[in-house]
């Protein structure tokens, strides 16, 4: 009886649970269906595709204006496009694009989850990869039907359009449309126009090397165009060939032959309107990188820039001080020049010269060259960040680091010297001792915080050695980076990333983009103002005297091994200007160093550019007789030191390079260093002790490590 009554109870117990789970399951299914339905509705609403594309707005030219609203250039909406069938496009060119843009093109259905995951993994692990997550079909959908806006909605549209394209067309038809649609720079759309633009031949006549070159351009058309940046284009070609080899489209022998084959670019005179072309091309590159070529060339944008055409004209006149030494193999007069002028308080680029005006390689942005002693202020800034002062002393005496025995310009040593002296006369050995006491990594960290983006901190060949204190870097620096870094000295230690575009309006006058300055307190106001304080003496008494413009100004010279690079970077309270002079082929320029031609160009430019600007003092930190700082006063000069300087002493010839043993790091620096026997500058007591110990550096470059420095 008990057993009979217990069994039914056990069966009845679970029924309510089963019912509720059923209800929950049904409700969940309904909810998911509703959610999917709503989502699909939203996605369908956002796709906004058109079978009839005739409703698209006609192309319109964009206009680029200067900071005062003056028209600089019309960017014409003329497409150079000649469609060709796939049968006329070399198989090597087809394979080059597939290998680099979409290796699974013939396997996916328009979107490639594997490719997306692979690209994501590469980003996470910081490895380089030659292809992105978007398929060729997605790129076609974006380029042909959508804007370049980086929004979630646009990405959804791209995915759905890609699926539609795959459903409607064959793979070969998609590839043909893509190769006829893509932008190659220089106004060329499609592979046929690109072949004519760069090689002066039909696309069907391209060899493997030329195919690889073309396939590498669309990733960044202005940067990788061989007419703009031949070295970058060659490196990109190698990457394309490596991908083709990796995916078995070519053999090892074909790779070697194509990679070493010289390029025969179309012979034509560079089309350069005037000196503004370098800046205009830079702005166009920034716009294309952000919005795509179609938006720039076809949508009638109004692009308001930071350029001041008056200052640009002044810069154009100033570079006429360049000598003509020779023509290189490309027929370009040498040496070349770069000039960048920046407002230190907002980061606006007010003038830019990228060369003599007869080519399209923008040296102000793209040329990575050795800075020589122009790098030393980063050492000085680091000393001040560590509570030293301009009167801190260092023993200028012989130093040996392994096989390297760095020398001063005049091969003499002065005993105790102050940081102010070291800066004024650009003395090498005590600069190295300062860097050693601080730690070269800290000096490089200061430079990076001030926007120097080209330092090499890892790998077998890197900048973590004391040669870097003299500007002997693995790669070098760019003029725009140096101008922006010095601007921070002029702006209480606040670094502002250079700005070229203030705002962008669409054809209806609606603002679609506006500059948002990127600011960071890179070094303390005290350190920045102390750097300014000592760099004023460089112009007034030291290596930069030829740059004296009769108003408060600070600056630094720089000259590298064999006179291959010469710099002057200087500033007033209102304007910072970097000038670089050098040969495109690293040719020697005997007698040209930072204190001569670059200083003269800087002087001539600043005199005119500031003609209508009231004279102003640097506002910040002054130094008292004890070398201590006094805040909230106008900083002029450290009177106790300045009065002791031999103001009438004529400069030594700024020559004599220092061959630092096996290290070809950089020039010890231009002249004007008083020698130990004749100088009256900053005499110190025989018993005074240096603040920085005179001991061998702990960080020693490896023998021969810097053989390529300064080249």
Tell me the pairing of strands 302-305 and 188-189. unpaired
| Catalytic residue chosen out of the listed positions 209, 225, 275, 373 | 373
Instruction: With beta carbons less than 8 A apart as the criterion, state whether 279 and 312 touch.
Output: yes
Q: What DSSP line would sit under 493-558, residue for residue?
A: TEEE--B-EEEEE-TTS-EEEE----EEE-S-HHHHHHHHHHHHHHHHTSTTGGG--SS--EEEEE
| Catalytic residue chosen out of the listed positions 101, 166, 299, 395 | 101
Which of 529, 667, 536, 545 lies closest to 600, judged by CA? 545
DSSP 305: E
Beta strands (DSSP E) in 321-426 are 326-327, 333-334, 336-342, 349-353, 393-396, 415-418
CB neighbours of residue 351 within 10 Å: 28
And the tokens for 78? 């003329």
Residues 10, 12, 18: CA angle, nearest 5 degrees: 110
Which of 585, 560, 397 lies closest to 477, judged by CA? 560
Which of 555, 546, 533, 543 lies closest to 668, judged by CA? 543
φ and ψ at 9, to 5 degrees? -60, -40
625 CA to centre of own chain: 42
Active-site residue 449, yes or no? no
Beta-bridge mates of residue 339: 353, 579
And the tokens for 207? 């060899």
Phi-psi label, residue 218: left if phi above 0, alpha if psi -120 to 50, beta otherwise: alpha
Instruction: With beta carbons less than 8 A apart as the criterion, state whether 361 and 354 touch.
Output: yes
Which of 185, 4, 228, 226 lies closest to 80, judged by CA? 185
* Distance separating alpha carbons of residues 103 and 244, to the nearest angstrom: 10
Which of 639, 669, 665 lies closest to 654, judged by CA? 669
682 CA to centre of own chain: 40
Active-site residue 678, yes or no? no
Q: DSSP 3-state assignment of 46? A: helix
* Distance separating alpha carbons of residues 527 and 629, to the nearest angstrom: 10
* Distance separating alpha carbons of residues 557 and 654, to the nearest angstrom: 11
Instruction: With beta carbons less than 8 A apart as the criterion, state whether 482 and 511 touch.
Output: no
Query: What are the catalytic residues?
Result: 101, 373
């Amino acid at each position: 009886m008990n057993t009979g009554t217990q069994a039914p109870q056990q069966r009845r117990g679970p029924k309510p649970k089963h019912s509720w789970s059923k209800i929950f399951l049904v409700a969940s299914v309904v909810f998911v269906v509703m959610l999917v339905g709503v989502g699909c509705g939203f996605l369908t609403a956002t796709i906004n595709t058109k079978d009839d594309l005739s409703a698209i707005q006609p192309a319109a030219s964009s206009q680029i204006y200067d900071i005062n609203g003056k028209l600089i250039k019309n960017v014409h909406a003329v497409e150079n496009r000649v469609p060709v069938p796939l049968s006329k496009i070399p198989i090597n060119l087809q394979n080059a694009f597939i290998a680099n843009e979409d290796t699974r093109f013939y396997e996916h259905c328009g979107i490639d989850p594997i490719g997306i995951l692979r690209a994501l993994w590469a980003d996470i692990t910081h490895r380089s990869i030659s292809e992105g997550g978007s398929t060729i079909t997605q790129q076609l959908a974006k380029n042909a039907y959508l804007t370049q806006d980086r929004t979630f909605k646009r990405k959804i549209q791209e995915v759905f359009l890609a699926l539609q394209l795959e459903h409607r067309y064959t793979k070969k038809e998609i590839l043909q449309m893509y190769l006829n649609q893509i932008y190659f720079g220089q106004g060329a759309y499609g592979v046929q126009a690109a072949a004519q633009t760069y090689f002066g031949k039909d696309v069907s006549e391209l060899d493997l090397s030329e195919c690889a070159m073309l396939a590498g351009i669309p990733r960044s058309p202005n940067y990788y165009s061989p007419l703009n940046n031949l070295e970058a284009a060659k490196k990109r070609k190698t990457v394309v060939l490596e991908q083709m080899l990796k995916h078995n489209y070519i053999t090892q022998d074909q790779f070697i032959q194509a990679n070493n084959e010289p390029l025969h670019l179309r012979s034509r005179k560079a089309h350069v309107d005037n000196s503004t072309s370098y800046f205009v091309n830079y702005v166009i590159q920034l716009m294309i990188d952000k919005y795509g070529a179609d938006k720039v060339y076809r949508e009638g944008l109004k692009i308001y820039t930071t350029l001041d055409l008056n200052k640009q004209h002044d810069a154009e006149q100033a570079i006429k001080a360049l000598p003509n030494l020779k023509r290189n193999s490309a027929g370009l007069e040498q040496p070349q020049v770069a000039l960048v002028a920046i407002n230190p308080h907002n980061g606006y680029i007010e003038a830019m010269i990228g060369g003599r005006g007869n080519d399209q390689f923008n040296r102000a942005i793209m040329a990575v060259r050795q800075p020589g002693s122009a790098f030393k202020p980063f050492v000085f800034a680091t000393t001040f960040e560590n509570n030293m002062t301009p009167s801190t002393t260092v023993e200028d005496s012989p130093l040996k680091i392994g096989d390297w025995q760095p020398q001063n310009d005049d091969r003499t040593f002065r005993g105790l010297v102050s940081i102010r002296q070291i800066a004024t006369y650009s003395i090498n050995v005590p600069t190295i001792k300062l860097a050693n006491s601080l730690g070269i990594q800290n000096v490089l960290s200061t430079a990076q915080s001030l926007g120097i983006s080209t330092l090499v901190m890892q790998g077998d060949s890197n900048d973590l050695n004391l040669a870097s204190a003299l500007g002997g870097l693995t790669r070098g620096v760019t003029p725009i980076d140096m101008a922006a870094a010095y601007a921070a000295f002029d702006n209480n230690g606040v670094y502002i990333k250079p700005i070229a575009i203030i705002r962008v309006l669409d054809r209806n006058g609606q603002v679609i983009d506006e500059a948002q300055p990127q600011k960071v307190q890179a070094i303390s106001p005290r350190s920045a103002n102390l750097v300014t304080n000592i760099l004023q003496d460089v112009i007034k008494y030291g290596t930069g005297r030829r740059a004296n413009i009769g108003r408060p100004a600070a600056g630094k010279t720089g000259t590298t091994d064999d006179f291959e690079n010469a710099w002057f970077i200087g500033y007033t309270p209102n304007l910072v200007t970097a000038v670089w002079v050098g040969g495109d082929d690293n040719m020697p320029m005997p007698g040209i160093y930072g204190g001569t031609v670059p200083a003269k160009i800087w002087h001539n430019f600043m005199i005119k550019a500031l003609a209508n600007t009231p004279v102003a003092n640097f506002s910040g930190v002054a130094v008292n007789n004890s070398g201590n700082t006094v805040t909230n006063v106008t900083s002029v000069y450290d009177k106790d030191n300045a009065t002791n300087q031999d103001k009438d002493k004529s400069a030594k010839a700024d020559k004599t390079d220092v061959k630092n043993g096996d290290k070809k790091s950089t020039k010890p620096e231009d002249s004007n260093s008083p020698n130990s026997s004749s100088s009256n500058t900053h005499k110190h007591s025989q018993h005074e002790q240096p603040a920085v110990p005179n001991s061998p550096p702990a960080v020693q470059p490896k023998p021969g490590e810097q053989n390529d420095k300064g080249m």
